[in-house]
Amino acid sequence: ADLGTAVEAARRSGSRVLPELLAKHLLRERGVPTPRGTAVVSPEEGRTAVGWLTAPYVLKVISPTVVHKSDLGGVRVGLADADEVAGEITAMEQRLQEAGHDVDGFLIEELAPAGQEIVVGAVREPGLGFVLMLGLGGVFVEVLRDVTFRLCPITRGDVVEMLGELRGRSLLDGVRGAPAADVDALVDVVVAIGGADGLLANLPPDVVEVDLNPVIVAPRGAAVVDARLVIS
Ligand code: ADP
Ligand code: MG
């Protein structure tokens, strides 16, 4: 999967977002964990694909017209077996096509271990480089805007400092009996993105925005479960 080819393919199809599977491939190349998965175009292919993945499965639509997949019913989490995956591919395709969306296919992936959801974003500022955003996921980013920013490249120390600036920081330490999240694994992920030789530093100038929402930080390990690379 060549990034330059993907950028051109996206431009041709009028989309500004690169395929999620490609974005995750680029992350894995830099040592960032993402759920194992594959792209399929039919219920039959979906049945085959689950054969080499571990249940439960997550199904996501691949569509140039769908930006926030779950808002449109384009994400199903926790499918148990090949029958459920195949059935949901058929249902999801019909639902989205009836709503007027193009459906290119589906991403089937493994369920990431549960944990605290974190958001990592980056926007290219002309003449400056990438500005990286870090925040707590869900209502914390959407309602409370509990986020903090740094100009890249960032170091491990910067990430630890940024986490300290979040009002909801204590959620990572475990509250109300929840286990503590693996903050070291989170720091690894953020440095692999925004560090001196991280993903951002190695992207071509066409890529102007990166959204990792969410990064799930479990008691052991952290994984990027949704990744968007946006081109200019
Ligand atoms: P979108 O942001 O486009 O709606 P996501 O890919 O972020 O779609 O999926 C929506 C939500 O589903 C995520 O915020 C996350 O809570 C959950 N999710 C998605 N993929 C996985 C996965 N592989 N493992 C665990 N949870 C997932
Ligand atoms: Mg998301």
Digit-by-digit pLDDT tens for the chain (232 residues) are: 589 999 999 999 888 999 999 999 999 999 999 999 999 999 999 999 999 999 999 999 999 889 899 999 999 999 999 999 999 999 999 999 999 999 999 999 999 999 999 999 999 999 999 999 999 987 777 777 899 999 999 999 999 999 999 999 999 998 888 899 999 999 999 999 999 999 999 999 999 999 999 999 999 999 999 999 999 9
* pLDDT, position 177: 85
Which residue, chain included where needed, has tokens 């499965």? Answer: 57
Q: Which ligand is nearest to the CA of 117?
A: 1
* pLDDT, position 175: 82
Distance CA 108, CA 39 (A): 6
- What 95-104 contacts at long range (C-beta under 8 Å, 24+ apart), as own/partner pairs, is 96/61, 96/63, 96/66, 96/72, 99/72, 100/65, 101/61, 101/63, 101/65, 101/66, 101/72, 102/63, 102/64, 102/65, 103/61, 103/62, 103/63, 104/41, 104/62, 104/63, 104/64
Q: Which amino acid is at 121?
A: G
CA of 225 to the centre of ligand 1 (A): 6
* pLDDT, position 1: 57
* pLDDT, position 139: 72
214 lines ligand 1 (CB under 6 A): yes
126-146 pLDDT, tens digit per residue, is 999 999 999 998 777 777 789
77 lines ligand 1 (CB under 6 A): yes
Q: What is the ipTM of this complex?
A: 0.99
**Closest by alpha carbon to 44, among 91, 97, 82, 93?**
82
CA of 135 to the centre of ligand 1 (A): 16
